[in-house]
Amino acid sequence: MPATRERRYPHTPDYAVPPGATLQETIDALGMDQKELADRTGLDKKTINQIIKGAHSLSQQTAIKLERATGVPARMWNNLEMQYRERLARQQDHRRLQSELQWLKTIPVRVLQERGVIPKTSDKVSLLRLVLSFFGVSNTPEWQNYWLGTFACRFRRSRAFEMKPGALATWIRLGEIEAQRIQCAPYNESRFRAALKEIRGLTGELPQVWQPRMVELCAGAGVALTFLKEIKGCPVSGVARWITPDRAYVQLSLRHKSDDHFWFSFFHEAGHILKDPKKTVFIDDDSTDDESEGRANKFATDFLIPPSHCERLRFLSDKDDIRRFARQIRIAPGIVVGQMQRRGIIPYSRGNDLKRRLVWADDSK
């Protein structure tokens, strides 16, 4: 086993040896019995007997007394006691986790393994520990409490959350971890608005141009931007939330695989960051059932195609007109098509060849 693997997943014995076993060996070597040890330490014989059997904990004060009576340093007795109690606790934890294995079926574990987030293992309890560590929670009840209780209360009503909470939680957690790696300046609204204007001008570029620049611009304004591949059972285009009071976070997928939907989702999430309370988490699953979603939709619509240009959309009769209009307002033609479809100016079956299809790099090979 490589050394790095050993450090990350150290071997933990499945047995626990009380410090009393070492104490018995020590007094045997000294030719001392339990009664003599009791007399030398001022502890009663029953307490000595219980310590040796592991039925009584060994306190720091007792460790000092044993040091003076046996010559063995108190720190060794303290370490033995600490290791013993930890191993007892781990044995208890192991038994409890065995009763919680069914929960793993609600989590897309294979996705986490395929993406290299957790290693493959045939030991179900070890796998459960790895998944709990990925989510940053101690056990499955705490996962339920955080994701389906306290944390879920901060989500807006979402069809995706109701359908596959395990998949949604996994996708969001992957984004959280990715966002933590991004160095961000403190949030500044004016810088973020300026960043959005520059990003809008990048919509006609190729992904290899706009993707790194988007991340850079957003980070400079205090917004961590991540792109995370979709997970089955989690039909979500984006998430907007605040990690800290001075750091926001936007997570995007490539749901629907077209540039018009992607850019609308990005500016929709940006609208949440700019206009909604910091304590709310927003999940974009195409629902429009509350006021905040309506505001975010309007922000995205107006930012992509300013209201002063909207009337002209009705007079774009063919693809050449759409391309010319897109060049004039410095935006991708696919976005223009998407907006015309949303407004009912053209049917959803028309103009789609002007949209740019977006795919993940590992899907394009």
Q: For the domain that residue 60 is a member of, what is the CATH number?
A: 1.10.260.40
Q: Are residues 89 and 25 part of one domain?
A: yes
Higher pLDDT, 282 or 154: 282
Q: Are residues 90 and 112 part of one domain?
A: no
Structural domains in the chain (count): 3
Give the model confidence (pLDDT) of 27-51 as tens digits: 999 999 999 999 999 999 999 999 9
Distance CA 262, CA 217 (A): 17
Q: Is the pLDDT of residue 6 over 60?
A: no
Q: Are residues 245 and 144 part of one domain?
A: no
Phi, psi of 73 (to 5 degrees): -55, 145
| Domain assignment present for 135 | yes
Q: Are residues 66 and 178 part of one domain?
A: no
Domain final position from 81, 98, 115:
98
Give the model confidence (pLDDT) of 206-235 as tens digits: 999 999 999 999 999 999 999 999 898 888
Q: Is the pLDDT of residue 150 over 80?
A: no
Task: Tell me the residue range of the domain where 262 lies.
Answer: 166-363
| Domain assignment present for 63 | yes
Q: Are residues 281 and 341 part of one domain?
A: yes
Residue 304 contacts by C-beta under 8 Å, 6 or more apart in sequence? 200, 263, 264, 267, 331, 335, 339
Give the model confidence (pLDDT) of 94-115 as tens digits: 999 999 999 999 999 999 999 9
Distance CA 183, CA 215 (A): 10
Q: Are residues 49 and 115 part of one domain?
A: no
Q: Are residues 298 and 213 part of one domain?
A: yes
Q: Are residues 268 and 191 part of one domain?
A: yes
Q: Are residues 110 and 83 part of one domain?
A: no
Give the model confidence (pLDDT) of 172-207 as tens digits: 999 999 999 999 999 999 999 999 999 999 999 999
